[in-house]
Chain A
Amino acid sequence: MNIVVCVKQVPDTATERKLRSDDKTLDREAADGVVNELDEYAVEEALKLKEAHGGEVTVLTMGPGKATETIRKVLAMGADKAVHLSDDALHGSDALSTSYAMAQALKKIGFDLVVLGSESTDARTGVLAAMLAERLGVPQLTLANKVEVNGSAIAVQRLTDYGYDKVEASLPAVVSVVEKINEPRYPSFKGIMAAKKKPVETLGVADAEISADQVGLANAWSEVVDFAVAPPRAAGTVVKDEGDGGAKIAEFLASKKFV
């Protein structure tokens, strides 16, 4: 099975994240880049499926040059090769253009299964998997906490507001996984050494047959009008429980008319 796992490099959520004042895009230089935590579950699931059914796992990352760190980590976890979609023309792409560019790259790479995380911790749109399924005309099996492949059939449990749906389709397909699905492995020392020799192909927009007028900040379908650092929440009252903590909260709630 030919599996492509989509992994994004994001600023570490533990550090302060900023928008750039010049073009209002995410400041990727200001913060350390890490593998989007939610994509580690996608990588783990891709590796498990490969271990069970054979085939190959290719990492696809769209992002600046620095994203090679992310690619190395995923190769160290056990992916076989990588495609790095990287071009200055892609800077500032929104969800529409990112999905277009990634769909073009996926067509070029070829796939039986595309696996994504449920959300990127920086953009937090959670739409890319649905958009890719739409663009590629393949089944959307998203928000899965269980994935089973049997020949060309695929079945997932899709988490819903009320529980889960059992969903069936046939390959090729796009899957996104939630963080309840597995426990991502750590790269081993051997894995880290082996990763250095694994092939990483860099694709620019022309290589992936991406029209430059459909990507990048100037061609985005949406724009940031303005932004401001949120004013800090007004400091609240914090008291130590002296045996009357519950009563004090009740008083506070009453003063706010909640009770």
Chain B
Amino acid sequence: MSEILVLVEHVDGDVKKVTLELLTLARSLGTPAAVWAGPGYSDAAKAKLAEHGADKIYVADAEEIIGYVVAPKAELLAKLVADKAPAGVLIAATAEGKEVAGRLAVKTDSGVITDAVGLGEGFVADQSIFGGGVNVRSRVTKGTPIVAVRPNSIAPVAAAGAGAEEKVEVALSDAARAARIVERVKQEKGARPELTEAAIVVSGGRGVGSGDNFAIIEKLADSLGAAVGASRAATDAGWYPHQFQVGQTGKTVSPQLYIASGISGAIQHRAGMQTSKTIVVINKDAEAPIFEIADYGVVGDLFQVVPQLTDEIEKRK
């Protein structure tokens, strides 16, 4: 069976969950080959990739690869596409992942599909468009299929792979070195799971009323081991940092459970969360459009309902 390249997402040397999901998907279509780009590769990373079916691991751990915006990763993948002739390339559909996919598509003269929520035989991808109104199946018709898959589209399943390592050197072109990253500013993330990867997301909107009040959203999140999200109204007001914004111009999340408090459910917010499996809503306005997509909704004051919910969850533990 032919190889399927999976670009590994990693933070501080740790392989992210979405990569395990992509390896799981790749196994149903061919032989997964993980591609590690940038420093931080370790035995622990290798073990995790192999446990999830990576038959090969291409390791390009030169510091340089993360010193410039996007282009080096695309160059690395293009080289592997040329050398290994894989059946396809899977990349996480994060903002940066999609950009890598886009540049790779141009370099390899291949089609690209972004934001797939499923992938089947023949690399036919499922997509959910127009804020969830239409389901589309699409596929690449020229070149090597490049598919950016949304985190949480499938559950990762372990299955041992050989994990054979192969070092890869890339001589970056001048064009790939054109946009230099001179500083990385990390804003505090805390101990909560990452927003796009979390099984449960608890979000607050304008109804929360202030940055301080977000503490009640955080408490609920912590009782469930969830990530915290926010509507644009809340991030624009400075109540919560921008990287927690859910929606069209924020993160797209697809958790098992999404709890929205004080969020009206504008189309731009829904675009980022409507593929959540279960949706729970707390809003004092019974007419709020978010109720249309709720599996369970309470019309009420979030300052009453949310703390009570947190207490009830703690009691049940």
Contacts and interface: CB of A to CB of B under 8 A. Distances in A.
Q: How large is the interface on B (under 10, 10 to 19, 20 to 34, 35 or more residues)?
A: 35 or more
Given A142-B99, A166-B181, A227-B134, A237 B114 contact: no
B98 A126 contact: yes
Interface stretch (B20-28, B46-54, B300-308): B300-308
Contact of B69 (A135, A140, A179, A180): A140
B178 A140 contact: yes
Interface in A217-256: 220-230, 233-234, 236-241, 243-250, 252-254, 256
A227 B249 contact: no
A154 B136 CA distance: 40
Nearest to B142: A221
B73 to A, nearest CB: 11
Contacts of A221: 105, 109-112, 140-143
B248 A121 contact: yes
Contact of B129 (A124, A161, A165, A245): A124
Interface residues of A, number: 83
Interface string B192-215: 001010001000000000000000
A94 B305 contact: no
Contacts, number: 278
A187 B21 CA distance: 47
A228 B136 CA distance: 7
A189 interface: no
Interface stretch (A10-18, A45-53, A56-64, A105-113): A10-18
Nearest to A174: B179
Contacts of B2: none
Contacts of A173: 178-179
A133 B72 CA distance: 13
| Interface SS, A side | mixed
B306 A222 contact: no
A147 interface: no
A108 B142 CA distance: 27
Contacts of B113: 222
Contacts of B140: 221-222
B95 interface: yes
Given A13-B267, A241-B301, A130 B99 contact: yes
A258 B128 contact: no
B278 A256 contact: yes
B107 interface: yes
A225 B111 contact: no
A237 B297 contact: yes
Contacts of A246: 298, 304-312
Nearest to A170: B178
Given A160-B243, A225-B137, 17 more contacts: A17-B133, A17-B134, A95-B105, A118-B95, A131-B103, A134-B103, A139-B178, A159-B243, A161-B95, A161-B196, A167-B180, A179-B249, A226-B137, A238-B281, A241-B301, A241-B305, A250-B312
Interface of A: 13-14, 16-19, 38, 94-96, 99, 118-119, 121-122, 124-131, 133-135, 137-143, 145, 158-169, 173, 178-180, 220-230, 233-234, 236-241, 243-250, 252-254, 256, 258-259
| 4 closest Cβ pairs, A-B complex | A246-B308, A241-B300, A221-B111, A127-B102
